[in-house]
């Protein structure tokens, strides 16, 4: 009898332990606890599907917490039923992921059934957006353009390749050295073309600095495209400047002080730009054809205009320019006739002795540009011998 009673008590105890009222809910251990999420994800993404069981009950799964809370905390993640399971979602419209500020999030979900609960933390690791790369990934490439001066606008020069692992749109930009407006790159294609007819391209080579960007990361580059320009338009030049000249201050306006010799296939189409140092002295000089001429009257006595450094640049019809060439001009003095001021004067006094009164007569001044001894004399007077 006692044995039967013991067995009955043991059976009741086991039933109590296994009853739905005391069983704990549990998550499916086969589901991953570490997932990845692309930093620039733009669509609603299912991070995981969770299955929570509790014999005899219908458990629910809810979002408990998300850390860190910024820049895309709990509002970016949600738990919603999906079929017989529960899905953990990422909603990009609710916030912005930024790998530099938070490279991972810890999403804690809770399964609850009949007053009991169990937690699970899902580690959401961000995959950062990577910048594009050149293809081929080299620092420079070279190409040669033949018969350059006959290349027409729109001609394809080169194509720059690039790839982006995140399938972001690649944006191409470009600068040139030396600076030129004759080349452009398609912002979405990487195709370099001639903007204008290259008859105005004067150099033998040009380096095009190309940059790429995905609009997310800092731009990449440059990749240098070194273009050898075969048979370009030759720049004009001037052969007989870079020298000094002396010019008399008496040189007439319009007179030439130097005739320079240009070298170009189309000499008659050349134009010349003249500059001066100091700039104010440009008022005294100009160009006329292939001559530098006097523009305004020169004056040795004005110290600031005695020396001028002129610079001449030649330019052809295509816009190609020469190197700057200088002409150092020194204005020299001319010995001029002395001048008596005022030229005429009238002095009136009473008759008789004027030896004392004449001392109060108006004084006369003599100007002389060259410092030499001056001698004055009375050329005509009624009583010349009485005037001293």
pLDDT (tens digit per residue) in 111-163: 999 889 999 999 999 999 999 999 999 999 999 999 998 999 999 999 999 99
DSSP label of 321: B
Shared domain check, 191 and 163: yes
Choose among 290, 297, 288: nearest CA to 248.
297
* Residue numbers of the domain that contains 86: 26-127
Domain count, the chain: 3
> Does residue 192 lie within any of the structural domains?
yes
Cβ atoms 268, 313 nearer than 8 A: no
Q: How many CB atoms lie within 10 A of CB 301?
A: 11
Shared domain check, 296 and 276: yes
pTM: 0.59
Q: Which of 204, 229, 254 is the last residue of a domain?
A: 229
d(CA 339, CA 165): 90
d(CA 211, CA 185): 10
Shared domain check, 147 and 116: no
pLDDT above 90 covers a percentage of the chain that reads 65
Shared domain check, 95 and 38: yes
Segment 150-178, tens digit of pLDDT: 999 999 999 999 999 999 999 999 999 98
Shared domain check, 107 and 54: yes
% helix, strand, coil for the chain, step of 5: 10, 40, 45
Confidence of residue 56 (pLDDT cuts 50, 70, 90): confident
Shared domain check, 250 and 326: yes
> Does residue 373 lie within any of the structural domains?
no
Shared domain check, 172 and 87: no
> Does residue 293 lie within any of the structural domains?
yes
For the chain, how many residues are written? 388
Q: Which of 64, 94, 127 is the last residue of a domain?
A: 127
Q: What is the CA radius of gyration of the chain?
A: 48
> Does residue 343 lie within any of the structural domains?
no
Shared domain check, 208 and 274: no
> Does residue 193 lie within any of the structural domains?
yes
pLDDT mean across residues, the chain: 86
Confidence of residue 200 (pLDDT cuts 50, 70, 90): confident
> Does residue 292 lie within any of the structural domains?
yes
Q: List, in order, residues 6 or more apart from 34 with CB less than 8 Å away.
A: 122, 123, 125
Shared domain check, 120 and 146: no
Q: List, in order, residues 6 or more apart from 357 with CB less than 8 Å away.
A: 349, 350
d(CA 82, CA 61): 11
Shared domain check, 89 and 60: yes
> Does residue 185 lie within any of the structural domains?
yes
Higher-scoring residue by pLDDT: 220, 178: 220
Residue 8, H or E segment: helix 2-17
Long-range Cβ contact pairs of 78-86 (< 8 A, separation 24 or more): 79/50, 79/109, 82/46, 82/49, 84/51, 85/49, 85/50, 85/51, 86/49, 86/50, 86/51, 86/52, 86/60, 86/61
Segment 256-293, tens digit of pLDDT: 999 999 987 656 688 999 999 999 999 999 999 999 99
Shared domain check, 306 and 241: yes
Is the sign of the CA dihedral 350, 355, 361, 366 positive or negative? positive
Please give the average per-residue pLDDT across 313-330, as a whole number: 91
Q: Which of 80, 99, 127 is the last residue of a domain?
A: 127
Shared domain check, 31 and 123: yes
Amino acid 4: pLDDT: 45
d(CA 291, CA 282): 15
CATH number for 204: 2.60.40.60
> Does residue 318 lie within any of the structural domains?
yes
């Amino acid at each position: 009898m006692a044995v039967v009673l013991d067995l009955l008590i043991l059976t009741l105890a086991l039933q109590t332990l296994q009853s739905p009222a005391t069983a704990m809910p549990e998550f499916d251990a086969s589901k991953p606890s570490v997932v990845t999420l692309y930093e620039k994800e733009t669509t609603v993404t299912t991070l995981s599907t969770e299955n929570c069981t509790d014999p005899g009950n219908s458990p629910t799964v809810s979002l408990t917490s998300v850390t860190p809370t910024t820049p895309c905390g709990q509002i970016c993640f949600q738990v919603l039923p999906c079929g017989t399971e529960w899905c953990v979602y990422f909603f990009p419209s609710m916030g912005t992921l930024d790998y530099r500020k938070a490279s991972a999030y810890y999403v804690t979900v809770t399964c609850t059934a009949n007053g009991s609960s169990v937690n699970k933390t899902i580690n959401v690791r961000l995959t950062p957006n990577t910048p594009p790369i050149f293809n081929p990934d080299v620092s420079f490439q070279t190409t040669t353009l033949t018969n350059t001066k006959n290349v027409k606008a729109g001609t394809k020069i080169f194509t720059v390749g690039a790839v982006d692992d995140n399938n972001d749109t690649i944006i191409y930009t470009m600068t040139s050295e030396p600076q030129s407006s004759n080349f452009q790159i398609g912002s979405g294609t990487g195709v370099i073309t001639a903007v204008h007819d290259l008859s105005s391209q004067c150099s033998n080579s040009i380096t095009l600095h190309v940059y790429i960007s995905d609009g997310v990361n800092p731009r990449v580059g440059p990749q240098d495209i070194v273009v050898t320009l075969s048979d370009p338009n030759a720049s004009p030049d001037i052969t007989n400047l870079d020298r000094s000249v002396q010019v008399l201050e008496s040189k007439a306006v319009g007179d030439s002080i130097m005739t320079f010799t240009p070298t170009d296939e189309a000499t008659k189409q050349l134009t010349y730009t003249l500059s001066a140092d100091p700039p104010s002295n440009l008022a005294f000089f100009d160009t006329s054809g292939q001559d530098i001429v006097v523009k305004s009257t020169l004056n040795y006595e004005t110290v600031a205009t005695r020396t001028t450094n002129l610079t001449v640049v030649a330019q052809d019809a295509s816009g190609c320019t020469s190197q700057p060439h200088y002409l150092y001009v020194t204005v020299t003095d001319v010995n001029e006739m002395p001048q008596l001021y005022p030229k005429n004067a009238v002095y009136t006094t009473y008759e008789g002795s004027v030896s004392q009164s004449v001392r109060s007569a108006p004084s006369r001044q003599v100007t002389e540009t060259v410092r030499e001894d001056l001698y004055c004399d009375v050329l005509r007077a009624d009583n010349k011998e009485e005037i001293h």
